A = this chain, B = another copy of it.
């Protein structure tokens, strides 16, 4: 619908996710309009969109206030993320095609190669590919879309997770467990494997909390 409003929504989202605003900050329409060199109208449209995805709270006749999730909310979102991915896996175990299974194994191999090469960025991309194949093979486009939406929302908090020493190697063996369960067409086992893989627990949990503290 919008040409400017589109790009402004994106830029504004970037700004909020990159912590340029802190929790509770009011988004001043005229200020943002000036900043982007447009009028208030497209800025308001952009804010409307961000409100629906939960990045800002809209208080009638008061304005828009950025909403940065606290530790509890984050854990809740990660928990739902793990469940959504586990569901993808459970369904994929029944529905995955041989072709996609081959692609999944290839993606897993790419992960291993990246780890062997010490290529963190490469691992990130290959890992993303692995997971996206899983979402698609749930055979449920709605589920796929929703999962991607939440994944995207969690992206900025995600990158801090995987830099743990030895985490990548463990991640690889978890991938293999997932693939095995899919080969066996064992839905519940696949779901459990994915849930364990994605869940934020143990050392990951402490690391996340520490990073959140530091951000304040």
Interface residues of A (CB under 8 A from B): 1-3, 6, 44-45, 47-49, 51-53, 58-61, 63-64, 73, 76-77, 79-80, 83-84, 87, 91, 140-143, 146, 188
Chain B residues closer than 8 Å to A143, beta-carbon distance: 76, 79-80, 83
Chain B, Cβ-Cβ closest to A74: B142
Contact residues in B for A60 (Cβ distance below 8 Å): 1-3, 6
Which residue on B lies nearest to A53, using beta carbons? B52
Cβ–Cβ contact A76 & B142, under 8 A: yes
Q: Which residue of B lies closest to A147 (CB)?
A: B80
Question: How many Å from the CB of A87 to the closest CB on chain B?
Answer: 5
Known: A2-B60, A76-B141, A83-B84. 13 other contacts (CB 8 A): A1-B48, A1-B51, A1-B58, A1-B59, A1-B61, A3-B60, A45-B48, A48-B49, A73-B141, A76-B143, A79-B140, A83-B83, A188-B188
